[in-house]
Structure 1
Amino acid sequence: MDFSAALPTFVITLREGVEAALVVGIVLALLNKAKKSHLNTWVYSGVGFGIIVSVLIGFLFAGIIQAAEQINPQYASVVKPLMEGVFCLLAIIMLSWMLIWMSQQAKKMKAQVEGAVNTALEQNAYAGWGIFSLIAIAVIREGVETVLFIAANFQQGVVATIGAFAGLVGAVIVGALLFKWGIKINIRQFFQFMGVFLVLIVAGLVISALRKFDAAIATIALANNASQSLCFYYQESAPIHSCILGPMVWNTSDILPDNQFPGVILKALFGYRQNLYVVQAVGYLTFLLTVGSLYFRSITNAVRINSQKQASAQK
């Protein structure tokens, strides 16, 4: 079994899980400080509810995928890659937004959670429901992002799920180390490090999405003469066809195949493909120059501000 497919889901689930674990840990600490530990049950219920909803959404996506695979073969060759491309696009949008938003809001997270908990506690009889909603929303948000990424790569099957489960276990361990045993972990550096991997993983999704759309459009274009104009680049003699991706940039299948080690690792974590086309290369670089540069600028600013604070404290 090829476990390389588990690496991206492990990275994403670990990062998303740690973010949810931070919210849970902060809420439990605040409840303990306010001598409201009897509301802890609502916290754990919110975690359980969030996980169940995320799993149900995963089953919904799986049902959609199975329905696409079982339709008339004449249409499945179009619907299936088109659906894969749409899932990839949604995952790219959600994960990119989360990455940029988190890099800008991380320093405010504790204050925001404290404000939400204080507001919930002011509701007296409905305080439990307020805490439950806060935790459930946090867990569902992270869970949906992970499930959507798995759906965008549903050819990975069980292996991707194993990676997600391992990432969830890792997030629980990190949360326990922080809040139960009081072990100091530099959370800022953790998110920055995982964020770099996430940028490259999502950039790989850009390549996958373009290839899926290319496959769907090629099937439509070649089905009848009236639709052939959809393919602006197609070579009958080419061993590997491209419809909307332009000419091939490289073919490294003989040197570094992406289905064997170490190419399979590079593919899983950094978006490497043994066959890369012009449009894919442009899309990959465009993503890195936009979303990637925004992310790196945000963490660079965070490091600079943190260094200035440390310098001021030492004076």
Structure 2
Amino acid sequence: MLVPFLIMLREGVEAALIVGIVASYLKQTGRGAWMPAVWVGILLAVALSLFVGAGLQMVSAQFPQKAQEFFEALVGFIAVIVLSSMVFWMRKAARSIKSELHTSIDDALGHTSGQGAALVAMVFFAVAREGLESVFFLLAIFQQSANSEAPLGALLGILVSIGLGYGIYAGGVRLNLKRFFYWTGLFILVVAAGILAGSLRHLHEAGVWNSLQTVVFDLSNVLPVSSAFGTLLSGMFGYQDMPTLGEIIAYVAFLAVSLFFFLRPAQRQGAAAASRPTH
């Protein structure tokens, strides 16, 4: 429950920030009459995300066992790519997202015709990106965890993010967004490592991947994955009581590379070059 809650909280806060920035800018520039177009874009993006999620779930249910295992592995790999790109994109774009959205709004409303459609499209693509990211993540989590509390955690995350987003927009909530995205980014990368290892396991069960299947250690008698704590660790970090060599390599290699790039200080070559005296 905690994993889908935290991920949907982060995704929801990102989407709420985008909507809040757009709404504030429209209000500040005397263009509040365009807010209905913003809501149309949001609703279309939510509808697309729900449609894609339901469609993928219905299609996968029709597959035979091995094909379903392969499909779950594919969804897991996509989720890892999407989650990782989301973390690094926000780390890079956090400082400039406000000005970029302001520019996009000015461009959308700067035409003599089709202004409403342009604004709807801008909001739709901005929010749909967050929604589709959430769809692939939730599919991967639901497939790897039989816990019925996962959908409830996702729903709670969305509701809390809506409340935080409104509070930030209204000015009643002060949230250190830099620290929020930093710690949730670290958590997401650990979760993504577990999804990656689980996807490799699905590939093996589908008969596609049969290398590196030596069991590294056996904790089934000490901490079985079916126990309460084992289930919690499995849902949060992809824990397995009998991991194979391939799963361990995938997990450790992904974390080593992703955490190296995430934790290294931001490059300041551009700032240093601008501060050099000219001759």
Same fold (TM over 0.5): yes
Kindly, what percent of the aligned residue pairs are identical? 28
Write the distance in 1 (CA, Å) between the matches of 2:228 and 2:249.
Answer: 26
1:45 matches 2:45: no
Residue 132 of structure 1, aligned match among 107, 120, 128 = 120
Equivalent in the alignment of 1:239: none
How is 1:133-282 mapped onto 2 (pairs within 5 angstroms)? 133-155=121-143, 156=145, 159-217=149-207, 243-282=210-249
**What root-mean-square deviation, in Å, do the aligned CA atoms of Structure 1 and Structure 2 show?**
2.0
Equivalent in the alignment of 1:55: 50
1:20 matches 2:15: yes
Equivalent in the alignment of 2:253: 286
Write the distance in 2 (CA, Å) between the matches of 1:11 and 1:40.
Answer: 29
- Aligned partner of 1:265: which letter? L
**Which deviates more, 251-260 or 134-143?**
251-260
Higher alpha-carbon Rg: 1
Write the distance in 2 (CA, Å) between the matches of 1:150 and 1:184.
Answer: 28
Residue 4 of structure 2, aligned match among 5, 9, 15 = 9
Write the distance in 2 (CA, Å) between the matches of 1:187 and 1:209.
Answer: 31
CA contact (8 A) 1:197 1:269 kept: no
Which of structures 1 and 2 has the larger relative contact order (alpha carbons within 8 angstroms, sep 6+)?
2
C-alpha displacement at 1:265, in angstroms? 2.0
1:81 matches 2:69: yes
CA contact (8 A) 1:246 1:278 kept: yes
Equivalent in the alignment of 1:120: 108
SS of 1:21's partner is helix
**Which deviates more, 141-150 or 198-207?**
141-150
Task: Please report the TM-score for the alignment, with normalisation by the length of structure 2.
Answer: 0.89
**Which deviates more, 281-290 or 261-270?**
261-270
CA contact (8 A) 2:61 2:68 kept: no
- Aligned partner of 1:280: which letter? E
Equivalent in the alignment of 2:276: none
CA contact (8 A) 1:84 1:212 kept: yes
Write the distance in 2 (CA, Å) between the matches of 1:260 and 1:123.
Answer: 61
Write the distance in 2 (CA, Å) between the matches of 1:90 and 1:168.
Answer: 22
Whichever structure has more helix as a proportion of its residues is 1
SS of 1:251's partner is coil
Equivalent in the alignment of 1:64: 59
The count of aligned residue pairs is 267
Q: Which segments of 5 or more consecutive residues in structure 2 lack a partner in the other structure?
A: 270-279
Residue 301 of structure 1, aligned match among 255, 266, 270 = 266
1:120-162 deviations in whole A, cap 9, x for unaligned?
1212442222221121112211111111122224434754332
Residue 90 of structure 2, aligned match among 95, 102, 117 = 102
CA contact (8 A) 1:15 1:191 kept: yes
- Aligned partner of 1:285: which letter? V
C-alpha displacement at 1:175, in angstroms? 0.3
CA contact (8 A) 1:214 1:245 kept: no
Write the distance in 2 (CA, Å) between the matches of 1:262 and 1:161.
Answer: 19
**Which deviates more, 181-190 or 56-65?**
181-190
- Aligned partner of 2:183: which letter? F
CA contact (8 A) 1:84 1:153 kept: no
- Aligned partner of 1:217: which letter? G
CA contact (8 A) 1:85 1:210 kept: yes
1:16-66 deviations in whole A, cap 9, x for unaligned?
111111110000000001111111111111111111110000111111111
**Which deviates more, 174-183 or 12-21?**
174-183
**Which deviates more, 107-116 or 174-183?**
174-183
CA contact (8 A) 2:21 2:101 kept: yes
CA contact (8 A) 2:15 2:127 kept: yes
Write the distance in 1 (CA, Å) between the matches of 2:159 and 2:212.
Answer: 39
C-alpha displacement at 1:182, in angstroms? 3.4
Equivalent in the alignment of 1:72: none
C-alpha displacement at 1:104, in angstroms? 1.2
Write the distance in 1 (CA, Å) between the matches of 2:25 and 2:2.
Answer: 34
